[in-house]
Structure formats: C-alpha cells, structure tokens
C-alpha cells in the first residue's frame, strides 16, 4: 500500500535539545494512526514539521509524497488539521467561520457542511468566542472535514473535553474514515483505543514501535504464575519479560512477545512447572504505562 505520511531519519533540535531524533514513520493510506507517548516525546514537534510549521534539522517528512518543506496551497487543500491550541477567529460566528473557509478549498461540500453542523450540534449564528472549548473544537473539526481531505492530522484533539464531546468528535472522524488517512496524537489512550487501527509509540524523539493495534494487543499479556513452593529464580530474565516481580511462590511479569506455546515452554525451562498460570489481556493504556515505566527497553522494533 502507498504511504500517506512518511518521515525518514527526521530530526529536530532546539539548541541542545533533540526533540526528534532519527524518526522513521510510515503511515499507509486509509489508516487511523494513533501516535502516543509521554510528554516531551516529540509528537507535536513531528506534526508541526509535517505541517511545515517547523523546519527539520535533518532528514525528511512527506505528506502524500510531497516534502513538507514544499507543501503548496494545492496540497494544503487536501489536508485537514486541528490542534488543541489552534487559534480561531473568535469574533466570527460559526456560519461566518465556515463561510470564510469555503473559497480556500475547491472540494468544499456544502451538504457535508450542513451534516457536520447537525452532527456536532453547532449553533450557526453564535460567535466562536461565546462557545465552550469543546464546541470550538467541533467547529474547527467541521471546518477541516467539510472539503473531504485525503489526510486528517489531529494534535491532542480530546484534551480537556467532556466524554460526550469526545464521542461526537470520534463519531465525526469515523464517518469520514473511509475516504482519508488520519494521524492522531493523543494522551487519551482509552478513547484512542476505541477507534485507532494502528499505533506508534514515541519516546525521546524516536519511534519505539509502530504496528497494527490488534497485533499489539495480541503480543502483550500480564502473566501470573503460582508455584507449590518458591522456585529458583534465574539470574537473567528473558528480554521480552517486563516488570518481573515475585512474592513468595507467585511470580508476575508482562510478556511483550506473547505466544502461548513459546511462553509456556520458556516458563517451564526457567522456573519449572507452575501450579497455575494466568494470562490477562492488556488495554492500550496499561501497555503504554508498562513501556513508559520500563523505558521501552524490551519492545523496540530491533528486538522483535
């Protein structure tokens, strides 16, 4: 499949700080891609480079095969962008704001505009300054979807919003998912997990992994082992076992490369036959926390 968004050895430095360091990101057309990671991981910097708000220090970034440094208005008309800190003309009404945007986008769809106003329950005659933050975000998203963009880029779109507004934004995105590629940077992992098809984890400016969300869920398990007596513990645990701990005859760890047959064989080889074994699936949030606490030592693409 073709790539809608791609970076190659992308880097960005702010004086002595490396915000992005050798980032290689590849998002295929049609994906709903969640870019997650702790604060300062480089997610927003990456997005701003893609949107040509920042110039890279090194490497390249492309949207729809075009270098981000060469994006012209014709290409921008194919990209929808919404940021949590996006500035809007607060003196305008919702209708005036959308009317202002129309001439910039040859593919603007008035029927879709009306559908989005209804879906997001936007008051056309009210000024943006009189709306809640959630309603302003919905107005911004409506203005970024009404022209059928091929790529939608959202930087922390759900931050600080109430659940109802988040659900409306997600429903609006999913309704247009078949015609676009979506990149979402978000700390709201529970919401992200409900709609993303792919996920990438950034840390210290680098991409630690990037994969299909269903595959990620399959390869992570919380494991609990119960033995008749305290087993003899190995000097070195397997690289894929994260956050290993023991309390008497009970051993717990997170398996980051789960395969039931192989994992059980590894357990027997290292510790002997347990009395009881429990494998528990993990949410995206619990996987994220495990990797953040471990510094992603055992889950990089190179080790897979």
230 forms bridges with which residues in the sheet?
Answer: none
What is the pLDDT at residue 56? 96
Q: Which two tokens stand for residue 209?
A: 């992994």
Nearest to 61 by CA among 186, 207, 192, 179: 207
What is the pLDDT at residue 1? 66
pLDDT in tens, 239-276: 999 999 989 899 999 999 999 999 999 999 999 999 99
Give the separation between CA 212 and CA 43, rounded to whole angstroms: 19
What is the pLDDT at residue 271? 93
Give the separation between CA 284 and CA 130, rounded to whole angstroms: 36
Contacts of 125 (CB under 8 A, 6+ apart): 93, 94, 95
Contacts of 217 (CB under 8 A, 6+ apart): 281, 282, 284, 287
pLDDT tens for the chain, 304 residues long, are: 689 999 999 999 999 899 999 999 999 999 999 998 888 889 999 999 999 999 999 999 999 999 999 998 889 999 999 998 888 999 999 999 999 999 999 999 999 999 999 999 999 999 999 999 999 999 999 999 999 999 999 998 877 778 888 888 888 888 888 889 999 998 777 778 888 999 998 888 999 889 999 999 999 999 999 999 988 989 899 999 999 998 989 999 999 999 999 999 999 999 999 999 999 999 888 888 887 777 644 444 333 3
22 — alpha (psi -120 to 50), left (phi > 0) or beta?
Answer: left
Cβ atoms of 222 and 252 closer than 8 Å: yes
Give this prediction's pTM: 0.85
280 forms bridges with which residues in the sheet?
Answer: 222
Give the separation between CA 207 and CA 61, rounded to whole angstroms: 14
């Amino acid at each position: 499949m073709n790539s809608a968004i791609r970076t190659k050895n992308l880097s960005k430095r702010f004086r002595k700080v490396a915000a992005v360091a050798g980032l290689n990101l590849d998002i295929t057309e049609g994906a709903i891609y969640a870019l997650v990671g702790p604060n300062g991981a480089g997610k927003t910097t990456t997005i701003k480079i893609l949107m040509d708000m920042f110039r890279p220090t090194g490497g390249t970034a492309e949207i729809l095969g075009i270098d981000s440094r060469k994006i012209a208005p014709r290409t921008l008309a194919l990209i929808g962008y919404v940021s949590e800190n996006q500035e809007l003309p607060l003196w305008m009404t919702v209708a005036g704001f959308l009317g202002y945007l129309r001439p910039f986008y040859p593919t603007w769809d008035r029927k879709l505009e009306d559908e989005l106003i209804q879906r997001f329950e936007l008051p056309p005659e009210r000024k943006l300054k009189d709306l809640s933050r959630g309603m302003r975000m919905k107005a911004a998203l409506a203005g970024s979807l009404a022209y059928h963009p091929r790529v939608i880029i959202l930087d922390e779109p759900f931050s600080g919003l109430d659940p109802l507004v988040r659900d409306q934004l997600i429903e609006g995105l999913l309704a247009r998912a078949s015609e676009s590629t979506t990149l979402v940077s978000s700390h709201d992992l529970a919401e992200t997990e409900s709609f993303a098809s792919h996920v990438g984890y950034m840390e210290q400016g680098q991409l630690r992994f990037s994969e299909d969300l269903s595959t990620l869920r399959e390869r992570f398990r919380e494991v609990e082992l119960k033995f008749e007596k305290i087993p003899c513990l190995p000097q070195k645990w397997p690289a894929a076992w994260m956050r290993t701990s023991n309390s008497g005859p009970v051993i717990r760890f997170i398996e980051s490369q789960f395969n039931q047959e192989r994992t059980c064989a590894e357990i027997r080889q290292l510790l002997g036959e347990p009395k009881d074994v429990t494998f528990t699936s993990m949410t995206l949030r619990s996987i994220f926390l495990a990797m953040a606490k471990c510094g992603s030592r055992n889950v990089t693409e190179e080790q897979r």
